[in-house]
Amino acid sequence: MRIKSRIIFPLSLLLVLLGAGCLDSSSNISSSPFSGSFSNYQYDYVDDYDYGYEWAEYEDIDNFDDCQYEFGSGDAEDGCNDYVRHNYSGYRSFGSYDCTEDCSGHEAGYEWAERNDIYHEDDCGGNSNSFIEGCLQYVEDYY
């Protein structure tokens, strides 16, 4: 009698789960690891540059505000911001500033501000307007 109950209970549980649709292989689970919102991400959160970049690429993020909203601050936000900068700040604009050619001056100013931990716009200086605007964009993005 004891052997019978050991077999019947697991089989009953399996049937109940199948009947409730819990083990249905066609359940609506996104095939993407990114399901629209970071809080719905199927895996553990990792504050990782590559994750932020890949998330932005998958979601086709086109502005820094979405990166800030999704990640706050940290490596993942940096990756997301770089995706936006590389794909949507190209020849037309760099953040909120217009570029005259290829935005290389803006990129240089932004990277300089990042390397030097610039947090106030009064600390942005240089010989080039585009360099200064890149520095100012960094301050706007992070402070």
Question: Domain ranges in the chain?
Answer: 47-88, 94-143
- Over residues 2-22, the pLDDT tens digits come to 555 455 555 555 555 555 554
| 24 has a pLDDT exceeding 90 | no
- Over residues 51-88, the pLDDT tens digits come to 999 999 999 998 888 888 999 888 999 999 889 888 87
Distance in angstroms (rounded) separating the CA atoms of residues 96 and 38: 26
Q: What six digits make up the tokens of 30? A: 């996104």
Distance in angstroms (rounded) separating the CA atoms of residues 91 and 58: 22
* Residue 109 near residue 135, CB atoms below 8 Å: yes
Distance in angstroms (rounded) separating the CA atoms of residues 10 and 4: 11
pLDDT at 100: 75
Question: Is 123 or 84 the better-scoring residue by pLDDT?
Answer: 123
